[in-house]
Amino acid sequence: MGERNKIWTAALVVIGDEILSGRTHDKNIAQVASWLQVQGIRLAEVRVVPDDQTAIVEAVNALRRRNDYLFTTGGIGPTHDDITVDAVAAAMGVDVIVHPEARALLEAYYDTRGGLNDARMRMARTPEGAHLIPNRYSGAPGIRIGNVFLMAGVPNITAGMLDALTGTLEGGDPVLSETVGCWIAESEVAELLREVEQAHEGVQIGSYPFFREGRSGANFVIRSTDADQLASCVHTLCEGLGEMGREFTPDPPRGAPSFRP
């Protein structure tokens, strides 16, 4: 499985005026990020750009070259503002073609849904040399060309495409994480965090404060690809918090009311 200890990275370009206007709250950053962690791939950077070819080309070219993988979400539908395929083809210097397999998929899908009109045919267009990513929810497939993956903007369609890609991309060891929640102002514990992190090689501790019911608290997220280092770090941190006389909850479940803002 490739070089040992190589860190595999990906970037994400979120495409859409609706995100930049604030109308739509993006859900793809979080779901792509979580999915990549399980694949052993680190999400290194995200850019959100408008439905504008120049902006898309710039982001795609900057990020595809310095990451192992580049994902895009949005702009692969049938309407005039869906220009991702054209922009990615331009970025990569290839033509746009009608992909025979995509066309066949769309013909089958729209056979009982009013037929394949001009707008729907747009979704059969891909950069030349592309492969398709299955879409289990609707007709139009995702697209892979080289190390670039074009996915839908609608989050549950994207989720299906990610699922179809699960296990197919080379990555490193998955990043493991544990969370320790504590009713403490993070400013009281900053020194402890720094010391504990320094004592555990390859472990990162993030500190995420919240305010709730008039009290200050923080979740400390400990991350490592090494399960033993992770466990040792959590143990040392909890010991330190205990010595400060604080209640803490190792690994509080998501949504646990006491330790989530």
Site for a second copy, residues 141 to 180, rule: CB under 8 A: 154, 156, 175, 177
Q: How far is the CB of 129 from a second copy (least distance, A)?
A: 25
Q: How far is the CB of 189 from a second copy (least distance, A)?
A: 8
**114 near a second copy, judged by CB under 8 A:** yes
CB closer to a second copy out of 77 and 172: 77
**3 near a second copy, judged by CB under 8 A:** no
**79 near a second copy, judged by CB under 8 A:** yes
**55 near a second copy, judged by CB under 8 A:** yes
The C-alpha atoms of residue 207 and residue 204 are separated, in whole angstroms, by 10
CB closer to a second copy out of 92 and 193: 193
The C-alpha atoms of residue 171 and residue 191 are separated, in whole angstroms, by 34
CA distances from 248 to 150, 164, 200, 217 (A): 42, 39, 20, 10
For residues 215 and 246, the answer to whether their CB atoms sit within 8 Å is: no
What is the sign of the dihedral through the CA atoms of 120, 123, 128 and 134?
Answer: negative
- For the chain, first and last CA: distance in Å? 40
**18 near a second copy, judged by CB under 8 A:** yes
CB closer to a second copy out of 93 and 257: 257
**119 near a second copy, judged by CB under 8 A:** yes
Q: How far is the CB of 136 from a second copy (least distance, A)?
A: 12
Of the candidate spans 72-80, 85-93, 158-166, 230-238, the one that interacts with a second copy by CB under 8 A turns out to be 72-80
3-class DSSP state for residue 195? Answer: helix
For residues 191 and 223, the answer to whether their CB atoms sit within 8 Å is: no
**23 near a second copy, judged by CB under 8 A:** yes
Q: How far is the CB of 3 from a second copy (least distance, A)?
A: 22
The C-alpha atoms of residue 30 and residue 36 are separated, in whole angstroms, by 10
